Amino acid sequence: MALGQADINRCPPGGDAGVAKLAALLNKPIRSIDPDCGRHEPLQVAVIQEEHCIGCTLCIQACPVDAIIGANKKMHTVLSDWCTGCDLCVAPCPVDCIVMMPVKPLSVWTDQQAQVARKRFEARERRLQREADVAHETPKAATADKQAVIAAALARARSRRVKP
């Protein structure tokens, strides 16, 4: 949106209040939510039907705020206080065990919740970048380590070689 590549009315979870805030922030006219993007609903959270979860971790990878915990081939669960209701975890689930449920009692998204979610999102992005950096560096370091071990072994073997 800030780059002018998306309209301000494409975020149904924010509703009309979210569009109004974006309009003010970006100095654009207020528009109605684009119906092709969905409709505004009360705040929801993801719930994993644990008896059906196969532990594939696809929902964990999809969650932009690390609100889902679990391990490979183990049951997962959603930290409901962290869940933003974005719905991004539902589609990747191969067994359709994630449902979106209204927050009880019905509530609206607050600025404080949005700020906390933004911080969790940014923390996740930093963690993913660190992991990518380590994954990128590890093969080089491992190769250098292997080459050093091989060179040392060759040096030992050569030193034990009987010269004619």
| 52 and 36 inside one domain | no
Separation between Cα atoms, residue 89 and residue 87, nearest integer Å: 6
> How many residues comprise the chain?
164
| 103 and 123 inside one domain | no
pLDDT range class, residue 2, cuts 50, 70, 90:
low
Domain with residue 56: its CATH number is 3.30.70.20
CB 18 within 8 A of CB 11: yes
| 52 and 105 inside one domain | yes
List, for residues 64-98, the tens digit of each pLDDT value: 999 999 988 888 899 999 999 888 999 999 999 99
Separation between Cα atoms, residue 6 and residue 72, nearest integer Å: 36
Residue 149 pLDDT exceeds 90: no
Q: Does residue 4 lie within any of the structural domains?
A: yes
| 101 and 47 inside one domain | yes
Range of the domain at 153: 110-159
- How many separate domains does the chain show? 3
Between 14-28, 44-58, 122-136, 145-159, the lowest mean confidence (pLDDT) is in: 145-159
Give me the DSSP letters along 23-71.
HHHHT----PPPGGG----S-EEEEE-GGG-----HHHHH-TT--EE--
Write down the pTM of the prediction: 0.67
Average of per-residue pLDDT across 101-113: 81
